[in-house]
Structure formats: structure tokens, C-alpha cells
Amino acid sequence: MPLRVVFMGTPDFAVGPLMQIVGAGHNVVACYSQPPRKADRGMESRKSPVHKMAESFNIPVETPTTLKDSIAQTIFKSHKADVAVVVAYGQLLPKHILLAPRHGCLNLHASKLPRWRGAAPIQRSLMTGDTETAVAVMKMDEGLDTGSIAMEEIVSIDPNMTAGDLHDQLSIVGSDLILEALEQLGTRALTLTEQKKTGVTYANKISKYETRIKWSRNAKDVHNHIRGISPFPGAWCEFESGGQKERLKVLRSRKMEGEGVPGEILDDQMTIACGKGAVRLEEVQRAGKRPMSAEEFLNGAPISKGAVLL
């Protein structure tokens, strides 16, 4: 049974679910996304990925800076939605918005709730070394990711998977899951289960102050740090080039055996000593350059075995 849907999302992660919902024949009467942002170096405003996708489907797009004022809430209610689907929208929804759709608001969240409630569940799960995560559909309440669970699908995490890899996989799984939830909602077969009271953790937004690689940590922690924030914002270190320090972003790594001064390049394959053990850098990016393999980097950089990354 087709539903009257308001879709709320902003980044790439939400594009797949929007496409699935439209493709399944549901009537998306409006799309809410974060306002266009100024691009780098003062260029013109850039619409979000969801905003652009919605326009390609001729879906009206709303970009309010807040949903707390009465005008925004009146506009939202005027859509007369059966349900709102919320996927990485970027704003907390006030009570009047949560109660406006006939069946409330369903949120697609990229974690095994109640683990990793909050802004950065994909990154935090990898940075901590979790071996599995999930995509969950929950009915939203006024808390931060505290609503009752409608359905959940567990996803295994490969030890060398990056946040970008996991993001893409969870978006695909989540697109199918939210569609299944809408189908069950339409037939009144959707059931809800309260979240557990134990095992609650919070995935705080990634700060720029925690992106620098600390080679004094053990290899497992360094590796998880690198893959947990790759490709964005990206873990980084520095190396000496022509008497100047140059930043090097590390996009992929692998745990290895080895020992030396933390940050020391141990061989010609970019194996780097950590406080305990070592990691091999597999993909890196110099400032202003494209991502490249470690081999390409070594061929073009004035750096070799014995040098120390800072």
C-alpha cells in the first residue's frame, strides 16, 4: 500500500533510501534537507546530495534552519504525511514535528542500538574495533536515538574495512530495510520493541583535534584510527620535505609485525613502527594531490627507510 511520505535527509548515506522509497511507488510529498552550504574558497552555495536527488524526482524541497518555530511546524503539518522517514537529517526533531505524521517518524540509524547513539556511529564503531554493527529502523521519540526498534539487520565488519566502505554497505542494507518497514507499516504489521537499558554508548561527532595519528599507540589502535575516519575527515601525519613539514593523509593501512622508533619507516613498503607492532600504509594522499598507493608516494617523495613520520 503506497504511503504519503515526508523524507528528511542530507548526506550521500540518505540518497539510496530516498531512491528506494520513490522507486517503490510511495508518494514522497516533500523532502527536507539541510540548507545549501558555501563551498570552499567562497564559491557559490552547494546543495546537499539528498536535495539534488529530490529535485531530480521533482519533489518539493524544504531547507529550514530550524523546525522549532510555528511557521516551520505549520508547513510540515500541511504535508499531511502518513509517515516521515528520517535518514541522517542533521537536526533534532521537536515534539510537534514527531507527532505530525499519522504514524510518526521512522529513523534509519547506522548502528546496533543502543550502541553508538549519536552523530558518528560508523566511525566510532571502527575506531573502537567493533567486529559487527547493524542498521536499525526505529520510531523516533524526543531522546537522542532512544526510540523503539522496528527492525534491525546485523552487518559484519571486516578488520580492514574503512568508514567509507562500511558507509556504502550500510546505505545499501538500510535502503532495503526502510522499504520493508514501510511495507509493514502500510499493512499494520510493523511491531516495535523497546531498546535495552544496558550497553548504551554515544558516537560523538569527530573532532579535528583527534585526527592526527599518534604513532606511540599500539598498531591495532593506530590501524583502527586510520580506517575509522577514512576517507573523511582522514587521519594524518607529517613528514619532512625540503626542510619543511608536509601533511600526509592516510586512507588505508594494515596491521603488520615490526618494531622501531614510533613513526619510523621500517622498509621500502611503508611499514611504520608503532608503540607496539607496526602498520603498513597502503593508500595515502599528499596535500592538494589525489589519493595514491604507498608505492606511488615513495616513488615521488623525498623519503625512505629510516625516516620518521611525525
pLDDT at residue 40 is higher than 70: no
What pLDDT does 288 receive? 86
* Distance (Å, whole) CA 289 – CA 16: 29
Percent of the chain with pLDDT over 70: 98
- Condensed to tens digits (0 to 9), the pLDDT of residues 82-92 reads 999 999 999 89
What is the pLDDT confidence band of residue 241, given thresholds at 50, 70 and 90? confident
What pLDDT does 43 receive? 64
**Across the strands, what pairs with 265?**
272
What pLDDT does 179 receive? 95
pLDDT at residue 172 is higher than 90: yes
What is the pLDDT confidence band of residue 304, given thresholds at 50, 70 and 90? confident
pLDDT at residue 306 is higher than 90: no
What pLDDT does 1 receive? 79
pLDDT: which is higher, 298 or 33:
33
Average pLDDT over residues 118-138: 96
pTM for this prediction: 0.91
Average pLDDT over residues 182-200: 93
On whether the CB atoms of residues 65 and 91 are closer than 8 A, the answer is no
Average pLDDT over residues 297-308: 83
What is the pLDDT confidence band of residue 186, given thresholds at 50, 70 and 90? confident
Average pLDDT over residues 141-161: 95
What is the pLDDT confidence band of residue 121, given thresholds at 50, 70 and 90? very high
Average pLDDT over residues 104-123: 96
pLDDT at residue 285 is higher than 90: yes
What pLDDT does 77 receive? 96
What is the pLDDT confidence band of residue 41, given thresholds at 50, 70 and 90? low
Q: Is 237 left (phi over 0), alpha (psi -120 to 50) or beta?
A: beta
Average pLDDT over residues 266-287: 94
What is the pLDDT confidence band of residue 271, given thresholds at 50, 70 and 90? very high
pLDDT at residue 302 is higher than 80: no
**Across the strands, what pairs with 70?**
none
Helix, strand, coil percentages for the chain (3-state, nearest 5): 30, 30, 45
What pLDDT does 292 receive? 92
pLDDT at residue 42 is higher than 70: no
Question: What angle is formed at CA 218 by the lines to CA 217 and CA 219, rounded to 5 degrees?
Answer: 120
Average pLDDT of the chain is: 93
Q: Which own/partner pairs from 22-28 qualify as long-range (CB within 8 Å, at least 24 positions apart)?
A: 22/57, 22/59, 24/179, 24/182, 24/183, 26/2, 26/182, 27/2, 27/3, 28/54, 28/57, 28/59
On whether the CB atoms of residues 181 and 137 are closer than 8 A, the answer is yes
